[in-house]
Structure 1
Amino acid sequence: MIQIRRGTVVEARATGHGLTDLVVEIAGARERAISYDMLTGPVDVGNVVVLNTTAVALGLGTGGAHIVMAVEGREQPGDVSGHAMKLRYTPVQSSVDAIEQTRSDALDEVASLQGMPVIAAGLHSALAPAVVAARAIDPALGIAYVMTDGGALLMAFSETVPALREAGLLDTTITAGQATGGDIEAISIYGALAAAKAIARADVVVVSMGPGNLGSGSRWGHASIEVAAIVNAVTALEGTPVVVPRISFADARERHRGLSHHTLTALSLALARAQVTLPSLAPERAAEIRDRLEEVARKHDVIEVDLGTAEAALKGSPVPLRSMGRSYEDDPDFFRAAAAAGVHAATLARARR
């Protein structure tokens, strides 16, 4: 079900990347909200807004803000020049220019990724450490990010993506499936990967959902399971899939402590062989992770990666590193695991040039 309330905007701050942070007054209480420029247009102090308050009412994690559905009394003419619909059959369905339509001449020529390394991550928070590490190995790399529709559907919700762009670390963004807001809009993950090669001219690609992983505590009930499908897609297009294992020694939840069950489930479902990268770990931790990986190691290649200069790059990252509310200092091995994938992918890419 959906909870909808009305509020009055008392503070508004444009972020500059398609999202506006708001404070709204609802029944005398001041609460945080956000609006997406592409859906509502600009929202100003004094506007009366219609809000989706469902997630806050449920106390859910990522975001912690109401979402503006509409500004009362305003029509939104919008640009409807695109011929592909995203957020389909919802009140906010939007038209985009899909790259498979506008550049079919270039994409139809992509029969193979020719071994291009593609990092598959189950959490959006792996994006920054993977990119920072890859850049530390080779600053000249072309790096593209493909955001799937497994988490947030609008790229504007991500704080990581604009931070990476402003730091000069990320070259191109692509939104695939129902996700929207990237430099390039793709209908499918296959179109997104083809565009990364033919249009973005990327050397390394990172694929993950946007912020807001959905989990249930059960084997099959988590959005990170899409890593299996990403591995299969990359292999079908003759790329090299590099999987980020979700590692944490700070998570209090047993199912995520050490090696997360999300990683194990996705690797067990992948039909193609992937390279699973591990950073160097304390001996007892390394043994624990390898024991957990033993059941899937027959299907995949487990590779230990020396982070080298990427270790210092992580510690001095110009982009904030956070996952599940924890910083690099709180949970270094989570970020080092993502960095290992970045180092390995960059090394593979450099060897291909």
Structure 2
Amino acid sequence: MLRMAVGMVSRVMEKRQGMQIIEVQLGEGEQKETAQAISFADESYEPGEMLILNTTAIRLKLGTGGFHLVVAKAGDHTERDLAQGNWGHVMKMRYAPWQLAVDTVEEQASPFHQLFLREDLSLEATPVIIGELHSLLPVVAAALKCHGKMGRIAYVMPDAASLPASMSRHVQQLKAKGMLDAVITTGHAWGGDREAVTIHSGLLAARHIEKADVILCMLGPGVAGTGTPYGFSGVQLSEVVHAVSVLGGIPYFLPRLSFADPRPRHRGVSHHTLAILGRYVLRPVLLLMPKTGGDREQLMRSQIASFQESNKHVVVWGECGSETRLADLEQEYGLPFASMGRGWREDPIPFLTAVLAADQAVLSLGYIKERINAGSDCSASPDMLAALGLYLTRNEGLL
């Protein structure tokens, strides 16, 4: 299904970097409707102009935020550049009507090309916090930045969900608040401060170009799911884990948790997390789990028991922070913390776990630095992760 329509501009409702929200009129007579459309083009719109709109998602009542998508101005045949670059010859969204050339960090004309010719390039034991839910990105970033000595934070956005980074209001807000230093869009995702062809080079760009001390890698907004352990956007995180591991980073996995989701498959530890870590990931991770006590913790422990029995992953259980801290972080961030339509007061566990992940990553930095200075192994090997997990467990509460 591909639904297209022509609509008339009423007004530009919002304009931010990389994106505009436009009020449009569609149809005639009794079929006339007022709707909103998103444009990613770098051009101006005036009331009365006619636009070609992709209406497919709204007609299917999908969760695109309630927007049509602007394809082009109807009847305007002037050739012009709507997404200007500097050296880019690499196409993203290849062979789609909106394919565009972007300035990738790796290509020959890039000022960083020589960097990516190095075969020994690594992440240098940089912590990478990996998670499925984009809604937890601001919680992790805000919790990281609240630590006074926290350095630079980069967000690497894969392409399993939203492709344009400008779709994320969180990215815009985090950068405006100084809680995020750089955004790198990888694969067919586009619109970051840096563009990369692969998740591997995107992670390396975060470390070596943006000088990130901690890297966040979570899917963009608009993930897809089918109620099966095979067809969901989060499967791509297995590729992220492998990339971090083989490139010499430290993979911290932020699980998808909930005790308010009405769907049994997402209660406690989501079947998405269990599928990713249980079947698809071939390298060990540091899995960060919250101590809740009672039946909830017992349920989560039983759900991940196979990981611990097989020693496939290093599980680090940490004390949950206070909800007061969540409230303070939310106030500092300036927008509500919400995930899957629920605020943190309705379902605090996923948000508290995101804070825990940030704290554990910060606590790790000193230990990793000591090992590097001592010439010890800092790869994401089972022994290194086990040693780091033991350090985190013994030093819990030091931050």
TM-score of the two chains, using structure 2 as the length reference = 0.84
The structure-2 alpha-carbon separation of the partners of 1:290 and 1:313, relative to structure 1 and needing over 3 Å to count, comes to farther
Aligned residue in 2 for 1:304: 317
RMSD across aligned C-alpha pairs, in angstroms?
1.8
Aligned residue in 2 for 1:92: 98
The structure-2 alpha-carbon separation of the partners of 1:317 and 1:334, relative to structure 1 and needing over 3 Å to count, comes to farther
CA contact (8 A) 1:141 1:203 kept: yes
Question: CA shift at 1:42, angstroms?
Answer: 2.5
The structure-2 alpha-carbon separation of the partners of 1:76 and 1:337, relative to structure 1 and needing over 3 Å to count, comes to farther
1-side partners of 2:149 and 2:135: how far apart?
21
Aligned residue in 2 for 1:331: 347
CA contact (8 A) 1:132 1:313 kept: no
**Could you say what secondary structure the match of 1:213 adopts?**
coil
Instruction: Select the residue among 363, 382, 393 that pairs with 1:347.
Output: 363
1-side partners of 2:125 and 2:320: how far apart?
22
Q: Deviations over 1:115-140 (max 9, x none)?
A: 11001111211211111111223453
Is 2:168 the partner of 1:158? yes
2-side partners of 1:13 and 1:272: how far apart?
46
**Could you say what secondary structure the match of 2:354 adopts?**
helix
2-side partners of 1:265 and 1:138: how far apart?
36
Question: CA shift at 1:76, angstroms?
Answer: 4.7
Is 2:156 the partner of 1:146? yes
Q: Give the letter for the 2:285 counterpart.
A: A
Aligned residue in 1 for 2:9: 9
Aligned residue in 1 for 2:46: 44
2-side partners of 1:17 and 1:229: how far apart?
29
Q: Give the letter for the 1:17 counterpart.
A: Q
The structure-2 alpha-carbon separation of the partners of 1:343 and 1:307, relative to structure 1 and needing over 3 Å to count, comes to farther
1-side partners of 2:44 and 2:319: how far apart?
47
Instruction: Select the residue among 278, 295, 314 that pairs with 1:284.
Output: 295
Aligned residue in 1 for 2:39: 35
The structure-2 alpha-carbon separation of the partners of 1:351 and 1:135, relative to structure 1 and needing over 3 Å to count, comes to farther
CA contact (8 A) 1:106 1:199 kept: no
Q: Deviations over 1:217-266 (max 9, x none)?
A: 01101001111111111000011000110001111111111111000111
Q: Give the letter for the 2:5 counterpart.
A: R
2-side partners of 1:321 and 1:62: how far apart?
19
The structure-2 alpha-carbon separation of the partners of 1:289 and 1:144, relative to structure 1 and needing over 3 Å to count, comes to same
Is 2:92 the partner of 1:82? no
**Could you say what secondary structure the match of 1:302 adopts?**
strand
Structure number with greater Rg is 2
CA contact (8 A) 1:107 1:198 kept: no
**Could you say what secondary structure the match of 2:44 adopts?**
coil
Q: Give the letter for the 2:54 counterpart.
A: N
**Unmatched 5+ stretches in structure 2:** 370-399
Question: What percent of counterpart residues are identical?
Answer: 36
Q: Which moved more, 1:179-188 or 1:114-123?
A: 114-123
CA contact (8 A) 2:321 2:355 kept: no
Is 2:218 the partner of 1:218? no
Q: Which moved more, 1:162-171 or 1:43-52?
A: 43-52
Aligned residue in 2 for 1:316: 331
Question: CA shift at 1:313, angstroms?
Answer: 4.2
**Could you say what secondary structure the match of 1:286 adopts?**
helix
Instruction: Select the residue among 48, 51, 55 that pairs with 1:53.
Output: 55
CA contact (8 A) 1:138 1:346 kept: no
Aligned residue in 1 for 2:198: 188
2-side partners of 1:65 and 1:311: how far apart?
31
Aligned residue in 2 for 1:104: 113
Is 2:298 the partner of 1:295? no
CA contact (8 A) 1:133 1:313 kept: no
**Could you say what secondary structure the match of 2:358 adopts?**
helix
2-side partners of 1:352 and 1:108: how far apart?
27
The structure-2 alpha-carbon separation of the partners of 1:345 and 1:107, relative to structure 1 and needing over 3 Å to count, comes to farther
**Could you say what secondary structure the match of 1:104 adopts?**
coil
1-side partners of 2:57 and 2:69: how far apart?
9
Question: CA shift at 1:311, angstroms?
Answer: 4.5
Aligned residue in 1 for 2:387: none
CA contact (8 A) 1:275 1:302 kept: yes
Question: CA shift at 1:106, angstroms?
Answer: 2.2
2-side partners of 1:113 and 1:313: how far apart?
32
1-side partners of 2:34 and 2:51: how far apart?
14
The structure-2 alpha-carbon separation of the partners of 1:134 and 1:305, relative to structure 1 and needing over 3 Å to count, comes to farther
2-side partners of 1:244 and 1:100: how far apart?
29
Structure 1 residues 193-212: aligned runs within 5 Å? 193-212=203-222
Q: Give the letter for the 1:216 counterpart.
A: T
Is 2:125 the partner of 1:115? yes
1-side partners of 2:208 and 2:170: how far apart?
25
**Unmatched 5+ stretches in structure 1:** none
